[in-house]
Amino acid sequence: MPSLAQPASPLAGNNRAPYQRHQPEHTLLYQLVERHYPTFNTLMAKTGRPLPDFVQQEFDAYLKCGRLEHGFLRVQCSRCKHEDLVAFSCKKRGFCPSCGARRMVEHAALLVDEILPQAPYRQWVLSVPFQLRFLFASYPELMGKALGIVYRTIATHLIHSAGHTHDTARTGAITFIQRFGSALNLNVHFHMLFLDGVYVTSFDQHKQVFKQVNAPTKATLQALVQCISERLAKLLTRAGLLTQDDENAYLTLDQLEDNSLHHLHGYSITYRVAVGPQQGKKVFTLQTIPAQAPEDDRFRQVGKVAGFSLHAAVSTQAHERQKLERICCYIARPAVSEQRLSLTKNGNVRYQLKTPYRDGTTHVIFEPLDFMAKLAALVPKPRVNLTRYHGVFAPNSPYRALITPAKRGKGAVKAVSTEPDDRTFMEKRASMNWAQRLKRVFGIDIETCRHCQGPVKIIACIEDPLIIEKILKHLESKAQKSQAELPLLPPARAPPEFGAGLFGEESYIH
């Protein structure tokens, strides 16, 4: 898959910019990983806790992402025959900003175009205590069971608020499991895009009628988060992971298998240094603005209990499709922002927070090796689905084909058309391609030549190392030759003396 160009702001409108190849080797993140990852990997092996294979593959693939030396596509303009090279991407899910932005665009366009019907939506965000963040990051199967509890709790609230039961009404949600916080800390939490209401079957049994519910109050959020915390406690108790007495409750992790990433997860979750002489100490923070007065939780639309936090203030109406797509882009955004990454004078890594903390903290400072540890902790395990579909949006739901725009799903009825269709089966099933999504969300047009505006097509896929080296050497020598043939600029001239004309002659007044 071609590598993504440096992204602009989402939903860039109709202003189409020509495609410019993203050069990761010129970015600070790439330079940091290229320089410090080998040392970090060796250090982890010496401590007896080598990085798992999937984490090493994440770093190795990132160092090849967007690099022409590891393969590319040749694309050519059909009109002027101008050629460009489009490098391959790593397609990883950990910390690659380019592939993360690509995945964000794909998810947002897919949801708005094919899955989410014309209805109001609300974003529910659930944060969990540090201990559960560790469990969810290390044991995805436990996270899946916990997410099922969270969904059923909120879905039941929506159905009852609409005055119905599970037999007469149904709702749905799409969950994006985010593993990162604003400070590059490991923070597993759930962004759930819920229908802001329920579907009720009409009298003719062939149409689903949507019924919107009122926005949740603070008391409702508090009751829901209390219910979620109690049900999760029962889940952990049945699994033998939670021990409760009259006064306290604590996790018992002895029966869980050891993992070489456990200590990196623990340090990342608790904002502590993972490697080096400062190991175990709090990550250094930078406060550049005055501290804010603590907000009164009585007036905030958020429910809190025992480290749990439930927020549901962001919503969109049925006609606000662009706002819905922006919300989808936000909850599917990549973990690392290159725009917020910089270096201090002594070579440490400075990362700016997306939103300042209440104490005035705006940046976190990492030593380079500890920065590598923070990136490693963000890599999810293989085959763990970070996007989950619930209720009417679930693939096996009989209602999915009835309410989704694509009309695909269990029990879907193929429409009969009298118009001829020459498309192949794969073309009919294919959704919007990557070039179209790139144009739609980022305003970058990869299908149009930047010289003559002609159509561009792929003419070759180059993967042979010998051919790659030959082509790149040819292009390099061609670029050097063109640079040498550029005419030299004449030396700068001194400013004209007083009374001189525009071209140095004596000025006269006629």
pLDDT tens digit string along 154-172? Answer: 999 999 999 999 999 999 9
* 303 compared with 510, residue with greater pLDDT: 303
Helix, strand or coil, per DSSP, at residue 46: helix
Please check the confidence at residue 84 and state whether its pLDDT lies above 90: no
Please check the confidence at residue 87 and state whether its pLDDT lies above 60: yes
Q: Which of 212, 140, 47, 121 is nearest to 379 (CA)?
A: 140
What pLDDT score was predicted for residue 82?
A: 84
What pLDDT score was predicted for residue 487?
A: 62
SS3 helix, strand, coil % of the chain, rounded to 5?
A: 35, 20, 45
Q: Which amino acid is at 226?
A: Q
pLDDT bucket at 433, cuts 50 / 70 / 90? low
What pLDDT score was predicted for residue 445?
A: 62
CA dihedral 160, 166, 169, 173 (to 10 degrees): 80
Comparing 9-18, 221-230, 252-261, 344-353, the range with the smallest average pLDDT is 9-18
What pLDDT score was predicted for residue 86?
A: 83
The Cα 125–Cα 216 span in angstroms is 13
**Average model confidence (pLDDT) across the chain:** 83
- How confident is the model over 232-240, as a mean pLDDT? 89
- How confident is the model over 357-374, as a mean pLDDT? 95
What pLDDT score was predicted for residue 432?
A: 54
482 is written with which tokens? Answer: 């063109």
What pLDDT score was predicted for residue 243?
A: 75
Q: Which of 98, 189, 183 is nearest to 371 (CA)?
A: 183
Give whichever of 75-79, 304-308, 434-438, 472-476 has the largest mean pLDDT: 304-308
Please check the confidence at residue 244 and state whether its pLDDT lies above 50: yes
Dump pLDDT digits (tens) for 460-504.
888 899 999 898 888 888 777 776 666 655 555 555 554 444 334
- pTM, two decimals, is 0.83
Q: Report long-range pairs for 19-24 (Cβ below 8 Å, ≥24 apart).
A: 19/84, 19/86, 19/438, 19/444, 19/445, 19/446, 19/450, 20/444, 21/66, 21/84, 21/85, 21/86, 21/87, 22/66, 22/87, 22/98, 23/66, 24/65, 24/66, 24/67, 24/98
* 185 compared with 479, residue with greater pLDDT: 185
Helix, strand or coil, per DSSP, at residue 484: helix
What pLDDT score was predicted for residue 20?
A: 66
What pLDDT score was predicted for residue 139?
A: 87
Comparing 112-126, 142-156, 356-370, 467-481, the range with the smallest average pLDDT is 467-481
* 201 compared with 361, residue with greater pLDDT: 361
pLDDT bucket at 506, cuts 50 / 70 / 90? very low
Please check the confidence at residue 193 and state whether its pLDDT lies above 90: yes
Comparing 143-147, 181-185, 493-497, the range with the smallest average pLDDT is 493-497
Number of other CB atoms surrounding residue 206 within 10 Å: 8
- How confident is the model over 180-189, as a mean pLDDT? 95
pLDDT bucket at 14, cuts 50 / 70 / 90? very low
pLDDT bucket at 75, cuts 50 / 70 / 90? confident
pLDDT bucket at 220, cuts 50 / 70 / 90? very high
* 343 compared with 425, residue with greater pLDDT: 343
What pLDDT score was predicted for residue 438?
A: 54
What pLDDT score was predicted for residue 36?
A: 97
269 is written with which tokens? Answer: 């979750």
Number of other CB atoms surrounding residue 282 within 10 Å: 10
Please check the confidence at residue 418 and state whether its pLDDT lies above 50: no
pLDDT bucket at 17, cuts 50 / 70 / 90? low
What pLDDT score was predicted for residue 417?
A: 41
